[in-house]
Amino acid sequence: MNIEIRELDPAHPETLPMLLPVFQAAVTADAPTHAPPTAAFLAWNAAPRSTRHRACVTAFDGDRPVGFGCLNHEHDTNRDLVYGDLWILPEYRDRVTVPLLDAFKAHTRGRGGTRLVNGFSEFSAVDYEPAFIAGGGRKVAEERRSRLDLTKIDHDQYAAWAAPSEKNAHYRIQTWQTPTPEELLAPLVTANEAMRDAPTGDLDFQLPPPDVERRRRSEAEHLAINMRMYIIAALTADGAIAGFHEMFVFPDSPMASVGNTGVAAAYRGHGLGLRLKTELALALLEAEPHLESVSTWNSSDNGPMLRVNEAMGYIK
């Protein structure tokens, strides 16, 4: 066996189709409750983005890819940081993890970075964590992946949660599919500032400054890979967005993925998180009947959001 490491451009038409079988096999091993990952789901995770440089650092056994990580380097923020994922065929992990991690480090140095962050599942920690620790790494954050079975939700309970309450009846609820209407773009960008409060463990990660044009480009890139994005928001009388919730739908997958969910500090305690999340779930069951489940990631330190998810029926 001769392992060779190559850097692949995700914009090249052959790159993502070549990596898809590795991605599918690794996700099946590392996330047992995850729906089989599709081409659209891989594109969401690895396709080029205007806001960052992306490269898929890949290990080959001959002509066969056996492991990879798609690494990100932001153009405007966190210039010292390169971050990404790690997917290796289970039977190759004992031979490929260290050389692939060394290649990630070399890529980071080549980009002028001084920090490398890689995420992997708790189910693969036994395979990967020793190599990271031996290489000088440490755990900086822990996230919980949760899954909601849409076929088993209590529709009446969801409808009750989604109904106006004494605390939140004064908000106007609006749902749309991207591209976001022009009159809502600036309020949505402002509302996303609530994400600055989201816990990140010991990881120093800075969000970019608010930028309407950046948001417009991001939504266009999602549409370009045939991904549908749904947003629900609670608006105040003066047109500000008090809270919002996003969901990504892939036409070739029965599993949707949660995007950002945020409520500005001034509007917290009004039950908006639960109301928005349950109302959008019910709406998606009507708009996207092929959906069977929803996947979400949350910091293990984000108690309020984890409690909302657990009430809704999300499980690890």
Please report, for the domain that includes residue 21, its CATH number: 3.40.630.30
Q: Quick one: pLDDT at residue 93?
A: 97
Q: Identify the domain containing residue 192 by its residue range.
A: 146-312
**Same domain? 129 vs 166:** no
**Same domain? 152 vs 266:** yes
To the nearest whole number, what is the mean pLDDT of the chain?
96
pLDDT in tens, 11-39: 999 999 999 999 999 999 998 888 899 99
Per-residue pLDDT averaged across 135-153, rounded? 94
**Same domain? 257 vs 174:** yes
How is residue 171 written in tokens?
């908000």
Percent of the chain scoring above 70 in pLDDT: 100
**Same domain? 152 vs 295:** yes
**Same domain? 67 vs 164:** no
**Same domain? 152 vs 292:** yes
- State how many domains the chain has: 2
Q: Quick one: pLDDT at residue 81?
A: 98
How is residue 151 written in tokens?
């076929």
**Same domain? 50 vs 88:** yes
**Same domain? 154 vs 61:** no
> How far, in Å, CA of 287 to CA of 139, rounded?
40
Reported confidence tier of residue 316, pLDDT bands at 50, 70, 90: confident
**Same domain? 113 vs 151:** no
**Same domain? 216 vs 299:** yes
Q: Quick one: pLDDT at residue 123?
A: 84
From 139, 162, 182, the end of a domain falls on 139
pLDDT at 257 over 90: yes
From 102, 119, 139, the end of a domain falls on 139
pTM over 0.85: yes
pLDDT at 251 over 90: no
From 76, 107, 139, the end of a domain falls on 139
**Same domain? 45 vs 99:** yes
Q: According to DSSP H, which parts of the chain are helical?
A: 15-30, 39-46, 93-110, 125-134, 155-162, 182-191, 212-224, 272-287, 303-312
**Same domain? 178 vs 200:** yes
Phi-psi region of 269 (alpha: psi -120 to 50; beta: other; left: phi over 0): left
Q: How far is CA 229 from CA 177, 288, 297, in A?
A: 6, 12, 17
